[in-house]
Amino acid sequence: MTERIQRIIIPARATTLEIGKWLWALEDARARTTQMIEGITQSELDTLPEGLENTIGTLLYHIAIIEADYLSIDVMGYDDYLPELKPILPLPVRMEDDHLSIVMGVSLDEHLRRFDIVRQRLLQLFTEMTPEAFGQTRDLPDWGYEISPEWTLHHLAQHESEHRGEIGSLLTLLRRD
């Protein structure tokens, strides 16, 4: 008999079940991303297929920096990234031409280390967050929106999933020969 697959949500440790479920969703998105890139070569990380704008390495960096951005600025209210995150995020989100910063020559281990550092900081904050803080909106007039931590977790899970699809397409192109 084959192993039975469980398609259930097992909430992460948090102050409320709701927060725990959102953290589970975020961790599920990350597990799927890391599974997809398992065994990827440096060439696959760095190759930019003709007519496209992003390497897989660029997308992995982008996923991490956006998570750090939302955590530090939108949720925590800092003007910049948390001091402990700045050294692992040396490039801006976008270049002057509004394209994502191109990341090449960075190993898979380094991308995974960056993922882990940012995620651990996010989990540290959210597992201790009160229900009131989780639903509290912050007005960011310079950006033209209001945001809550609960929406942030939704967005980060969706953001990573969308870029995972892009990574999958790039891998298909790179491995078709």
- The per-residue pLDDT for 177 is 65
- Which CATH topology does 17-175 take? Four Helix Bundle (Hemerythrin (Met), subunit A) (1.20.120)
Question: Max CA-CA distance within the chain?
Answer: 58
pLDDT for residue 30: 98
56-92: burial string, b at 16+ Cβ within 10 Å, e else: bbbbbbbbbbbbbbbbbbbbeeeeebbeebeebbeee
What pLDDT sits at residue 11?
85
Q: What does the block give as tokens for 152?
A: 């942030």
In this prediction the pTM is 0.94
DSSP string for residues in 112-147: HHHHHHHHHHHHHHHHT--HHHHH--EEETTTTEEE
What distance in Å separates the CA atoms of residue 71 and residue 15, rounded to the nearest whole number?
A: 18
- pLDDT at position 142, please? 87
Residues of the chain with pLDDT under 50: none
Which residue has tokens 């959210």? Answer: 126
CA-derived radius of gyration, the chain:
17
Separation in Å, CA 175 to CA 29, 34, 103, 132, 167? 23, 18, 20, 48, 12
Q: ∠ CA(142), CA(146), CA(152), 5° rounding?
A: 110
